[in-house]
């Protein structure tokens, strides 16, 4: 049997009191009451002031592999907040934040949305490019018509002058 970790935290602050860790193999899932009887850090507390989040087995394994530690629970979302080793100053831990694996997943979704938006934008640009080409062609045709009409007007003027008996140079 695989049993996910239980995170016990102070309801007032979200600070983690106990992470039971995940277990697998020949284990039995305990009750919250059994945990309060078994763990001294819980037995010393008033049960009504302690919250608990049950994690699925294997949850946040990538975050644990990167040295992440659940130090708080977000009291609004009841999601774990992690601290990670600070690459610049290993003695100074990072501020608690949502799991990096969740952030990466969220960014992946945002990137997919942005790619889709980019494709839609390119389609619009291509469409506008086609429309612009059509407008340019129409403008060229209109310019040719104007030139043709100008020539006809000049020829007509010449005919009028000739009909009036005028001389052409």
Tell me, what's the pLDDT at 114?
76
Could you report the per-residue pLDDT of 43-77, keeping only the tens digit for each? 999 999 999 999 999 999 888 888 889 999 999 99
User: Cα–Cα distance between 94 and 69 in angstroms, integer?
Assistant: 10
pLDDT higher than 60, residue 169 = no
Tell me, what's the pLDDT at 108?
62
Tell me, what's the pLDDT at 131?
83
Rank 39-48, 63-72, 104-113, 140-149 by mean pLDDT and report only the highest. Answer: 39-48
* Beta-ladder partners of 23: 3
Indicate yes or no: pTM above 0.85: no
User: Cα–Cα distance between 100 and 22 in angstroms, integer?
Assistant: 19
* Beta-ladder partners of 15: 72
């Amino acid at each position: 049997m695989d049993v996910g970790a239980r995170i016990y935290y102070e309801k007032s602050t979200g600070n983690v009191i106990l992470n039971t860790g995940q277990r697998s193999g020949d284990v039995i899932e305990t009750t919250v009451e059994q945990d309060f009887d078994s763990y001294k850090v819980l037995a010393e507390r008033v049960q009504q002031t302690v919250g608990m989040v049950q994690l699925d087995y294997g949850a946040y394994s990538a975050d644990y592999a990167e040295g992440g530690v659940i130090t708080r629970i977000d009291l609004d979302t009841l999601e774990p907040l992690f601290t990670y080793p600070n690459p610049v100053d290993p003695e100074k831990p990072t501020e608690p934040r949502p799991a990096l694996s969740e952030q990466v997943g969220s960014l992946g979704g945002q990137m997919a949305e942005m790619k889709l938006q980019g494709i839609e934008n390119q389609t619009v640009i291509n469409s506008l490019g086609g429309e612009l080409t059509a407008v340019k062609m129409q403008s060229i045709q209109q310019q040719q018509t104007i030139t043709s009409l100008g020539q006809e007007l000049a020829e007509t003027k010449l005919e009028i002058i000739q009909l009036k008996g005028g001389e052409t140079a």
